[in-house]
Structure 1
């Protein structure tokens, strides 16, 4: 039986929560400022900066691009990652561990290095467009999460279920779509959510690959702060934080998100 927490443990817990939650509280209140410059404590309270966020044209364009990259980049990563995870889990492939290490490279290697490498060896030599370069980069960055999360789901799925479907007349492809995929659906959705949040909030790689008039929302926010220091960026940051928390909370409630990450 555990005893009551001591005073010291309560103080440490309070400090940890303050450290984790404090920045969000500061950003939320800074966005509510009635003044014309970013400051904390706020100079009065007003919702005008939260409302202004929806009227800034650059934010609208960059938000649309970030949503496109997050949704379709993650879908492309899943289209590659689900078959890769299946092959790594169901077959004794030579060099499978090496493949896993290579797939995990975008997670291990700092984003600045990945962005610089893609700029130097993909964009410059081939001359691909900025949007295509960002799409390929975000797909590559999300792919490791797709493989790892789906692999976790496949590891918990009994292989004899698929074998039974094959013995009953299904082809391997039919067994995959009728038996395997429905049973790992929660894992695939969890991988999509994790990839979406990762892609949407990506900064280092997007910083190297963005071009004139083509910027993701985080990069556009950085550029906006270089010329304007009003609380609208704080308001937008608070809205994005609420969006991310809401997505993860919903995923945990309906999918058991913590089982896969």
Structure 2
């Protein structure tokens, strides 16, 4: 009993440390006051409804959705063949390739954003919208490769070989046997990449410009001018959205098996 109590106490302290800020934001989003504060001043839903009336939030939400969905799809198109090649064949410098693919996760996002802005957007003249899309794709690519590789590791290679022996081409076996059997991993990679891209701040901060702003960057700009509870309301809605996506993925796909 004497050993169990300290461990239980530590566990609850960790839970409070992780969940506490989220609960504070949720409580502040229902405040009836005019400024963002905790504890909330009364109870009101008006800041929840105001989120949907701010035009810049709607526009930046669409931008973030396009970047997250488009960037993740492109990352999967590139990452699935790469994961397949590294899982099924003995490639030279395979460990070096894995390290390079993982570089966007290892290197801080603020460095990636600054490098793209300094060496591609400014001197080369790449449109900032294209640079932002490429940056989000590069940031999501490591997740696509890693998650799909984990799914391929659980798929027996002799199933694919059996399809080839029965007359299927190697490409046909890939589309008819491999892809259907790793669809759970692919969907998990898409969800993980989508959430990562949608919530991305450091890279988007450097590559956002006039007429192109993601939702997190728009929220930062909004707080510089207005300090009302609508930011807390929007943060709570986004948190619930992310949690809902992850919980559904765990419920129907077994998300934790791949990440």
Task: Place the TM-score, normalised by the shorter chain, in its bin.
Answer: over 0.9
Inter-partner Cα distance in structure 2 for 1:21 and 1:146: 28
Find the counterpart in structure 2 of residue 19 from structure 1. 17
Find the counterpart in structure 2 of residue 85 from structure 1. 83
Find the counterpart in structure 1 of residue 179 from structure 2. 181
Find the counterpart in structure 2 of residue 235 from structure 1. 233
Inter-partner Cα distance in structure 1 for 2:158 and 2:6: 52
Residue 74 (structure 1) aligned to one of 68, 72, 75: 72
Question: How far does the alpha carbon of each residue in 1:4-37 deviate from its partner, in whole angstroms, 9 at most, with x for none?
Answer: 9722222222211111111111000111110110
Find the counterpart in structure 1 of residue 98 from structure 2. 100
Find the counterpart in structure 2 of residue 206 from structure 1. 204
Provide the secondary structure at the position in 2 that maps to 1:40: coil
Question: How far does the alpha carbon of each residue in 1:76-125 deviate from its partner, in whole angstroms, 9 at most, with x for none?
Answer: 00000000000111111111110000000000000010001111112112
Q: Does 1:45 align with 2:65?
A: no
Inter-partner Cα distance in structure 2 for 1:8 and 1:96: 46
Provide the secondary structure at the position in 2 that maps to 1:55: coil
* Stretch moving more, 231-240 or 8-17: 8-17
Which TM-score applies when normalising by structure 2? 0.98
Inter-partner Cα distance in structure 2 for 1:242 and 1:125: 41
CA positional deviation for 1:131: 1.7
Inter-partner Cα distance in structure 1 for 2:123 and 2:180: 42
RMSD: 1.1
Aligned CA distance change for structure 1 residues 234 and 87 (closer, same or farther; 3 Å)? same
Aligned CA distance change for structure 1 residues 4 and 256 (closer, same or farther; 3 Å)? farther
Question: How far does the alpha carbon of each residue in 1:139-196 deviate from its partner, in whole angstroms, 9 at most, with x for none?
Answer: 0000000000000011111111111111111111100000000000000000000000
Spell out the pairing of 1:149-164 with structure 2 (5 A cutoff): 149-164=147-162
Residue 64 (structure 1) aligned to one of 39, 46, 62: 62
Inter-partner Cα distance in structure 2 for 1:96 and 1:110: 23
Find the counterpart in structure 2 of residue 222 from structure 1. 220
Provide the secondary structure at the position in 1 that maps to 2:56: helix
Aligned CA distance change for structure 1 residues 171 and 31 (closer, same or farther; 3 Å)? same
Structure 2 stretches lacking a partner, 5+ long: none
Inter-partner Cα distance in structure 2 for 1:108 and 1:205: 14
Inter-partner Cα distance in structure 2 for 1:149 and 1:125: 35
Aligned pair count reads 259
Inter-partner Cα distance in structure 2 for 1:236 and 1:18: 22
* Stretch moving more, 67-76 or 6-15: 6-15
Which TM-score applies when normalising by structure 1? 0.97
Q: Which runs of 4+ in 1 moved over 4 A?
A: none
Q: Does 1:172 align with 2:166?
A: no
Inter-partner Cα distance in structure 1 for 2:218 and 2:127: 18
Inter-partner Cα distance in structure 1 for 2:4 and 2:173: 55
CA positional deviation for 1:212: 1.0
Provide the secondary structure at the position in 2 that maps to 1:104: helix
